[in-house]
Amino acid sequence: MRLRQFRLLIVGEPADSAADVLFDRADDACVEVLPPSYAPPGAAGSAPAAGRAPRAFDGLPGGLAPADPGGRVAWVAFDRPAPTLIDAVVSGVRDLDGAGLVIAAAIADDPLVTLETIGERLDRPAGVVRSWDLPEPVFAHPRRPVYDWTEVARRLAARRVYAPPDDEATMEAVTLTLRVRELRPRLERTAPLRALLC
């Protein structure tokens, strides 16, 4: 199984008790509280009001605002082996649900990768990856060069070594599903929405 790396953006700073439950459920999770000025990459949502500085939740779907009046959010990063990215992300959502955390969005992981991480993502040994024609590293280091995953995936796809899935579509689909789940109590019925997926 390939290593799937992703982040789930959560609303507010997690309480210690919720973090304890999360770490009991998911030993591959790492939590980072973000500054109020953080803007999620590629998140479409509400823009800040004119004359107001952007806050961490301005880009979240549907203008979802954290309960924290300071506008704090956190992300939980996962390194999870799974057959597909969607399987990994949904299992991460279940872990956060079990810890009682409110998820605002699914976002891609950091694009900076080492040879070992490339190997884990492609289910190949690092020694094999080292022999491939990779793009120039963004940070050259004699033992652990760092590459941009987007450039690596593009190069490997062009050489037919790797067919990259559309991770952005997966993250957007999960985020939209979470938004529908949030709206569900306000809807008369959800069965017609499920029928739209067919």
Which pLDDT does position 39 carry in this prediction? 58
Which pLDDT does position 90 carry in this prediction? 95
d(CA 181, CA 132): 43
Q: Give this prediction's pTM.
A: 0.72
Element (H, E) at 24: helix 16-25
Q: Could you tell me if 104 and 9 are in contact, meaning their C-beta atoms sit under 8 angstroms apart? A: yes
The two tokens of residue 54 are 């952007």
Contacts 24+ apart (CB under 8 A), 178-182: 178/61, 178/93, 178/103, 178/104, 178/105, 178/106, 179/61, 179/62, 179/64, 182/62, 182/64
Which pLDDT does position 97 carry in this prediction? 94
Give me the average pLDDT of each 10-residue run along the chain (198 residues).
Answer: 88 88 90 69 45 43 47 84 93 94 88 89 88 90 87 88 81 92 90 84
d(CA 29, CA 76): 6
Which pLDDT does position 63 carry in this prediction? 44
Which pLDDT does position 51 carry in this prediction? 47
Which pLDDT does position 82 carry in this prediction? 92
